[in-house]
């Protein structure tokens, strides 16, 4: 029996309005957040990988030009994460039995955690495998194809977290406390200023 294969949906369309600059292009340790997330996601050996673009699309795409991601333009990205997720899932190859969904605002994400998500899902691909941090189930998460239709029905700024909460009994929770430290507002950025690369302060 052939093992199920997953795809990657990297959500990189947001406008980062609360931060005031493109979080996808911030550098930590000499690597942009979008490149960091993409590199780790591709290391899980996905069947397919798509990058959902919206704001700052040209610059974000240029930042991952050396990586094997298919760009997907989300025309209505300004409506929120739900629309970006829908665009990414719709573009994913039908050969993918699940989708590893990631964001670009978790600088503490590591390869081991993504591999743990894939391993947990592979053992029971009818269920999801999601990150557990700050008392919630969230992304990165590997979501089974059977969930795609319900995820596509999400609108506006509602992402996968709502469905993960509703279906918690069908989710393998993989703890990763550091993921609670994301980059969302200027205070988050200032708290990590010492680890930013040169030339990436807000202009």
Domains of the chain with bracketed CATH: 6-195 (3.90.550.10)
CA-derived radius of gyration, the chain: 16
pLDDT one-digit tens code per residue, 146-156? 999 999 887 66
DSSP state of 93: -
| Bridging pattern class, strands 31-32 and 27-28 | antiparallel
- Number of helices (H), then strands (E), belonging to the chain: the values are 7, 9
Provide φ and ψ at 114, rounded to 5°: -65, -40
State the sign of the Cα–Cα–Cα–Cα dihedral 108, 18, 49, 142.
Answer: positive
Average pLDDT over residues 54-61: 92
Check: CB of residue 124 under 8 Å from CB of residue 44: no
Q: Return the structure tokens found at 89.
A: 């899932």
Mean pLDDT along residues 27-40: 92
Over residues 81-101, the pLDDT tens digits come to 889 999 999 999 999 999 999
Q: Once rounded to an integer, what is the mean pLDDT over residues 149-169?
A: 85
pLDDT more than 70, % of the chain: 85
pLDDT, position 195: 44
Look at residue 136 and tell me whether its pLDDT is greater than 70: yes
Q: What is the mean pLDDT of residues 153-182?
A: 88
pTM of the full structure = 0.89
């Amino acid at each position: 029996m052939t093992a199920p294969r997953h795809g990657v949906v990297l959500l990189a369309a947001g406008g980062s309005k609360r931060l005031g600059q493109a979080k996808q292009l911030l550098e930590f340790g000499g690597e942009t957040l979008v490149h960091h997330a993409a590199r780790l996601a591709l290391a899980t050996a996905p069947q397919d990988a798509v990058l959902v673009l919206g704001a700052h699309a040209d610059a974000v795409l240029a930042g991952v030009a050396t990586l094997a991601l298919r760009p997907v333009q989300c025309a209505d990205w300004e409506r929120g994460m739900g629309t970006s997720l829908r665009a990414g899932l719709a573009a994913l190859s039908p050969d993918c039995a699940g989708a590893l969904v990631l964001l670009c605002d978790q600088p503490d994400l590591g390869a081991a955690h993504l591999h743990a998500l894939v391993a947990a899902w592979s053992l029971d691909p009818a269920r999801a495998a999601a990150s557990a941090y700050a008392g919630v189930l969230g992304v990165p998460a590997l979501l089974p194809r059977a969930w795609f239709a319900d995820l596509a029905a999400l609108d506006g700024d509602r992402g996968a977290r709502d469905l993960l909460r509703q279906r918690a009994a069908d989710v393998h929770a993989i703890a990763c406390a550091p993921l609670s430290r994301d980059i969302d507002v200027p205070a988050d950025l200032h708290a990590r200023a010492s680890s930013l690369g040169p030339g990436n302060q807000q202009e």
